[in-house]
Amino acid sequence: MSAISSTLALIRKDVHSELRTRYALNALLMFVVTAVSTIVFALRSDQPTSSVLSGLYWVVVFFTAMSGLSRTFVSEEERGTTMTLQLVATPSTVYFAKLLFNTALTFALTIAVTILYMTVFSNAFVIKTMSIFIGTVVLGSLGFASASTIIAAIVAKANTRGTLYPVLSFPILIVLLMTVMGATTKALDGEELSSALGDFQILVGYILAMTGGSYLLFDYVWKD
Amino acid sequence: MMDFLSQNQMFIVMTIVLIIWAGIVWYLVRIDNRIKQLEDHSKKG
Amino acid sequence: MKFAKYGSIALITFVLIAGIAIPLSPTPQGWLQFPVIPGLGEKARNILYHVPVAWTTVVAFLVSMYYGFRYLKTRDIEYDIKSVSSAGLGFLFCFLATITGALWAKFNWGSFWNWDPRETSIFVLLLIYGAYFALRSALETDEKRATLSAVYSIIAGITVPFFIFVMPRIMSGLHPGAKGDPDGSGPVVQFKMSPNMLVIFLLGLLGFTLLYVWLLNIRVRLAKLEYERSSHQS
């Protein structure tokens, strides 16, 4: 089996098992709704500024991702399928499959949060520069996934999985979060695309560095 | 006494800092020697 | 190692005395006077201590990463011992750097913490160290602990250049070298130090680095003794 077809097969397997149980999708969606509701109650009638809104946007994405993304590896451990996976596929295939799955999951998450925010904060959450917003969301999802996937693999091997995952991920994701929040603020404020190019450069650099590093190190984490 | 203290503040600070530092150094040297003893002990025995 | 031990004691003692005792003057003459840096005054003396401590914590982190990398290549547990020992020291120095920085910030700019890029990055480093030790305590076997913590420290290390070089470019901040600084930005800032101050500063840098080397040596020897004792008993 060529590398690409085995990667696709792995992704298809993950998607199928997700669609069968819908566990991750439901839990994450509920988490998003809960988080946004809490924010709405906290703000009441106050209309937040664009920088506050973009911060809250990514806060919701971050915490939902933290509660969900580790499942890609932890579920394998829980179901006992890790060893099968180790036998059947090369480490790099496994890594890229999980990475792409996580990216898709995060991207779906951002879409959900966007829709919710546009409904709930219809006055304040108006995206004036769509190009910046789309670029930020796409690159942000890739960035989130590229950093979180290997941390998920690390945490799956440890004892206290749940709380350890955010603790390990946060310092690594801070760079991403700050850049992405700044870019989203620019999108809400209606600034030119050119002003966000610096942010995009950082994001691309971050994605490349994280994916490259994770790819090189994944072998050590995956093999017992 | 107070005049002396308020005018020579720098030297008061320096003395305190040096005392603390001397304490740290003494502690570290003590640990270093203890470890050396243990290492020789385990090497012989 | 003797050099590190006596060298660090001598250098740091010297820098402590010289840094505090030498008076400031607007027109410094000769070796025994420091210039007055505008806006800082007496508080400038902190440069001689805060910067070397911050420098040492970065060195400790890089060393810990290096030994982690060596462990991954050779699976020799001794490298893991060195990696943890260095990380522990790095944590301590990071703590000290944060505190000296916060005190300086209070006296200079009015508040203990401002989230300027440099402050944020030392905070992130603190978080990375904390996460590193949290990870280690959650892993049971020696090999797993060594492997996974080495991987984590390398991944975390990859994000560090982003902090040092990129963030200050984007965010304006209080530290020199950030966007709003009229002196221009750069990762290593040229302080306006006179030659005698520069010499003392560099000696202090060397002294603290040697102190780190000595402390690392002590910690590694101690850890090795404990390891041997525990493996002999079992």
The domain spans of chain A are 3-222
The end-to-end CA distance of chain C, in Å, is 32
Whether the predicted pLDDT of C232 surpasses 80: no
Q: What integer pLDDT is reported at residue A98 of this predicted model?
A: 86
- Cβ of C214 within 8 Å of Cβ of B42? The answer is no
Rounded Cα distance, A44 and A50, in Å: 16
Helix, strand, coil proportions of chain B in percent (round to 5)? 95, 0, 5
Q: A181 or A72: which carries more pLDDT confidence? A: A181
Chain C nearest CA to B6, separation (Å): 15
Prediction pTM value: 0.84
- Ranking A84-93, A163-172, B26-35 by mean pLDDT, the lowest is A84-93
What's chain C's average pLDDT? 78
Q: A198 or B3: which carries more pLDDT confidence? A: A198
Q: Which residues of A112-149 are buried (b: 16+ CB within 10 A; e: fewer)?
A: bbbebbeeebeebbebebeebbebbbebbbbbbbbbbb
Tell whether ipTM is more than 0.95.
no
Q: What integer pLDDT is reported at residue A18 of this predicted model?
A: 77
Check residue C76 and report its DSSP letter. Answer: -
In a domain, C174, yes or no: yes
- Cβ of A171 within 8 Å of Cβ of C127? The answer is yes
In a domain, C29, yes or no: no
Going by pLDDT thresholds of 50, 70 and 90, the confidence category of residue C184 is very low
Nearest CA in chain A to C163: A175
Q: What integer pLDDT is reported at residue A24 of this predicted model?
A: 72
In a domain, C32, yes or no: no
- Cβ of C158 within 8 Å of Cβ of A178? The answer is no
Whether the predicted pLDDT of C188 surpasses 60: no
| Total domains present in chain C | 1
Categorise residue C181: left if φ over 0, alpha if ψ from -120 to 50, beta otherwise: beta
In a domain, C218, yes or no: yes
Q: What integer pLDDT is reported at residue C151 of this predicted model?
A: 92
B in contact with C (at least 3 C-beta pairs within 8 A): yes
The end-to-end CA distance of chain A, in Å, is 24
In a domain, C148, yes or no: yes
In a domain, C13, yes or no: yes
Whether the predicted pLDDT of A124 surpasses 80: no
Owning domain of residue C67: 2-23+37-233
Chain C nearest CA to A16, separation (Å): 30
